[in-house]
Amino acid sequence: MGNFTDYRLPLEAFQSQRTPFYYYNLQLLHDTLEGINRLTTDVPYRVHYALKANSNPHLLAIIAQAGLGADLVSGGELKAALAAGFAPERMAYAGVGKTDWEIRLALEHGVGCFNVESMPEMEVIGQLAQEQGCTASIAIRVNPDIDAHTHRYITTGTADNKFGIAIEQLPHVVERALTMPGVRLRGLHFHIGSQLTDMKPYVMLCDTVNRLQDYYEARGVRFELINVGGGLGVDYNEPDAHPIADFDSYFGVFKRHLRLRPGQELHFELGRSVVAQCGSLITRVIYVKSGRNKRFAIVDAGMTDLLRPALYEARHLVQNLSSTALACDTYDVVGPVCESSDVFAHDCTLPLTQRGDLIALRSAGAYGESMASTYNLRSLPGTLF
Ligand code: LLP
C-alpha cells in the first residue's frame, strides 16, 4: 500500500495546461493493479476490468499489460480492448441489448464468454454462431434479487430491474442452453450493483451462488466458471487516506464464503475500484460570484466533463490546489453548463478562492472521462498523465 504523499497532485505541471483536463496518476494505477494481482495469484481468480469505467487507451494498455481480462458492454469497447492488447479469450461480453453486428464481431474474435441476459438473446447468439460456423461460450446472468443498498441508479441485482434472468426462470434457461446448438454453457454470472462499501451483500451473493451450485450439482450440471461481477466501492470522502480500494476485504469475502468446485474459476468484473482514485478532474475558477445568500465558484469544467454529481448526486472531494489563503469561505462550486444540476458541490468550505485558482475534483478516474459529452457544444476534457 502506498503512502498518500506518493500520490500528491503535481500543481506545477498543471499551471501551463489548458483546463479542464483529467490528470491520471499512473503510479497509483500500477500500485492498485499490483494489489489486485497480489491477492489473486494463488487462487483460480480471474479479474476482468470493466471498460465502461474508463476506456482511455493509455490506461487500457497499462491494465492489459498487468494481465487483467476485459469486461465489455459494446462493440466499441470490444474494439478498444483489442487495440489495447487484451486477449479475446480473457474477455467477457455483457449487456441486455447486444445487437447482431456486435455479437458477430465478438464471435469473429472469439471472446471468452458472452454474459447472456435473456432467452431471446441466447437464441440469437446461438443462431449467429451457427451461421458463422462456431460455438459461443456463454454464462447466464442471474438476477439474484439482492439489494446492494447503493444509489438506485446503480443497483442492478433486484427483481425489478432489467438485468439478468430471475432465479425461478433459471432452470428453464439452463436446460435450453445445455441442449441448443451454437452455444456452450460455461457458467453463471451475477452483478449486484456498484459502489458497495459494505461487504454484507457480497456475503449474501456467495450464499446464493452456493445454493445454486448445490442445486445444479445434484442434477449433474457442473459449471466451469462463476462470475460475481464488480461493484467494489472507493472512498470518495477521503481519497488520500484510502488511495487503494479495500481489495483485502473484498477478495477475502469470496475466499471465506464462496465454495468453488475443483477446477472451477471465479471471475470478477471490477471497474471503479481499479481506476477511480488515480484520476482527478482539474479545472480553473473563471469567476467568483456573490448571490443574495451564497457565493458561487464558477469553474470551467461542467457536467459534460464529470456527470456523476448531476446524475447521481454523487460527491467528489473538491480541493483548491493553488490558493495559499489561510482563511476559508463557503462556496457552491458550479459549472458553466445551462442546467441547474450542473453543480459539483453545495456549501463547500475552501480556502479563499479567486479567479484563476486551480481546483481538483478528486476520485474522478471512474465514470468521469468515459461519461463525458459535448452537450452545449463543449469540447471534451483533455488528459495529462
Ligand atoms: N459488471 C457489470 C455487469 C456491470 O454492470 C458493472 C457496472 C460492472 C461490472 C462494473 O462495476 P464497478 O466495479 O465499476 O462498480 N456510472 C455509474 C456506475 C455504473 C455502473 C454500471 N455497471 C457511476 O458513475 O457511479
Our answer on whether the CB atom of 318 is closer than 6 Å to any ligand 1 atom is: no
Which pLDDT score is estimated for 161?
A: 74
Intrachain domains 26-275 and 279-384 with the same fold: no
* Residue linked to cell 470478477: 268
CATH superfamily name and code, 279-384: Lyase, Ornithine Decarboxylase; Chain A, domain 1 (2.40.37.10)
DSSP state letters, 252-300: HHHHHH--PPTT-EEEEEE-HHHHGGGEEEEEEEEEEEE-SS-EEEEES
Pick the atom of ligand 1 nearest to 50's CA. Answer: 10
Task: State which of 68, 272, 308 you would mutate to test the pocket of ligand 1, scoring each by most atoms of that ligand within 8 A of its C-beta.
Answer: 272
Task: Judge contact between 282 and 16, C-beta under 8 A.
Answer: no
Task: Judge contact between 173 and 211, C-beta under 8 A.
Answer: no
Residues of the chain with pLDDT under 70: 1-5, 150-160
Please tell me the distance from the alpha carbon of residue 342 to that of residue 104, in angstroms, as a whole number: 39
The total of other beta-carbon atoms located within 10 Å of residue 132's CB is: 14
Burial bucket for residue 127 (CB in 10 Å: 0-12, 13-18, 19+) = middle
C-alpha cell, 369: 472521462
pLDDT in tens, 329-342: 999 999 999 999 99
Amino acid in position 227: N
Predicted TM-score (pTM) of the model is: 0.96
The domain limits of the chain are 26-275, 279-384
Which pLDDT score is estimated for 154?
A: 64
Our answer on whether the CB atom of 269 is closer than 6 Å to any ligand 1 atom is: yes
Decide which of 3.40.50.11540, 1.10.10.10, 3.90.1010.10, 3.20.20.10 is the CATH code for 26-275. Answer: 3.20.20.10
Cα of 367 vs centre of ligand 1, distance in Å, is: 9
Cα of 344 vs centre of ligand 1, distance in Å, is: 21
Which pLDDT score is estimated for 155?
A: 62
Task: State which of 48, 49, 161, 194 you would mutate to test the pocket of ligand 1, scoring each by most atoms of that ligand within 8 A of its C-beta.
Answer: 194
Measured by CA distance, the residue closest to atom 15 of ligand 1 is: 231
Residue 42, C-beta contacts closer than 8 angstroms, at least 6 positions apart: none
Our answer on whether the CB atom of 141 is closer than 6 Å to any ligand 1 atom is: no
Which pLDDT score is estimated for 1?
A: 47
Cα of 15 vs centre of ligand 1, distance in Å, is: 33
Residue 337, C-beta contacts closer than 8 angstroms, at least 6 positions apart: 302, 303, 304, 375, 376, 378
Our answer on whether the CB atom of 251 is closer than 6 Å to any ligand 1 atom is: no
> For 79, what's the count of Cα atoms within 13 Å in the CB-facing half-sphere?
7
Which pLDDT score is estimated for 157?
A: 61
Burial 50-89 (b: 16+ CB within 10 A, else e): bbbbbbbeebbebbbebbbbbbbbbbebbebbbebebebe
Task: State which of 71, 269, 316 you would mutate to test the pocket of ligand 1, scoring each by most atoms of that ligand within 8 A of its C-beta.
Answer: 269
DSSP state letters, 71-113: EESSHHHHHHHHHHT--GGGEEE--TT--HHHHHHHHHHT-SE
User: How many helical (H) and strand (E) elements, i.e. helices and strands, does the chain have?
Assistant: 11, 17
Cα of 189 vs centre of ligand 1, distance in Å, is: 14
pLDDT in tens, 164-190: 999 999 999 999 999 999 999 999 999
C-alpha cell, 203: 456475503
Please tell me the distance from the alpha carbon of residue 335 to that of residue 350, in angstroms, as a whole number: 16
Task: Judge contact between 202 and 166, C-beta under 8 A.
Answer: no
Cα of 11 vs centre of ligand 1, distance in Å, is: 31
Which pLDDT score is estimated for 2?
A: 46
Pick the atom of ligand 1 nearest to 156's CA. Answer: 5
